[in-house]
Amino acid sequence: MKKLVTVFFTGMLVSFLGSLPLGTLNVAAMQIGIQESIVHAIYFSFGSLLVEMVYVRLSLVAIDWVRKQARLMRIMEWLTLAIIVALAIGSFMAALKGSGSAKNVLLNNNMHRFLLGMFMSTINPVQIPFWFGWSTVLFEKKVLQPNNSNYNFYIVGIGLGTLVGNCVFIFGGKWMVDRIANSQQYLNWVIGGIFAITAVIQLVKILMKKDGVTKFQQQ
């Protein structure tokens, strides 16, 4: 049981730290929390972490099959880039309207936030090489063992770590907005800038074949 607890907390720690750098999903969760509600942002996070857990499971038990889906993963990568660009443009447009209540055009829809989280996480294949790399290290260090009990504790830990990491953005963003006048408008500029920079980095990596999917195929 002690080893399973170690696996659980290892998965949670890696997932939590991996959720802290600015990214499409955690920034989108923060934006939903600020412009809609904490509950909607939590729904979004649950949707995204559910897909992440499925991806991790695939990377553990069907890695050879996943590697063969190069074309599909490449399509998903370009689709992710398009989503990031749309989020950047939407944030800038919301900021230009001069109203704190103006919403990013991509988030201005009636889709349930749980389903939106699932959708945005599904088209984000960068999670697969990330978790394949970490799982390989944990296998080599004998922290993770190839059996269902280890996999289940590992995946649940990952889900909890992602949720806690997203909550840092959700509650941190809400706390900041509540204390700074006109902060929602400024935040739209900041978030738009984050998405724009992320899109440029993603495009450069794809064109130079240094993205996560390419590296994953070469492993």
Taking phi over 0 as left and psi of -120 to 50 as alpha, with beta for the rest, 176 belongs to alpha
Please write the tens of the pLDDT for every residue from 161-212: 999 999 999 998 888 777 765 566 677 787 788 888 888 887 887 777 665 5
- Contact at 8 Å (CB) between 151 and 145? no
Q: What is the DSSP letter of 144?
A: S
Dihedral through CA 15, CA 192, CA 28, CA 162, nearest 10? 10
Closest CA to 217 of 128, 119, 104: 128
Looking at the 3D structure of the chain, how many domains does it have? 1
Q: According to the model, what pLDDT value does residue 181 have? A: 57
Closest CA to 29 of 173, 130, 158: 173
Q: According to the model, what pLDDT value does residue 101 have? A: 54
Higher pLDDT, 59 or 122: 122
Q: According to the model, what pLDDT value does residue 162 have? A: 93
E strands present in the chain: none
pLDDT band at 96 (very low <50, low <70, confident <90, very high): confident
Q: According to the model, what pLDDT value does residue 23 have? A: 80
Q: According to the model, what pLDDT value does residue 10 have? A: 93
Please write the tens of the pLDDT for every residue from 37-95: 899 999 999 999 999 999 888 878 766 566 566 676 777 778 777 878 887 887 788 77
Domain of 57 in residue numbering reads as: 2-218
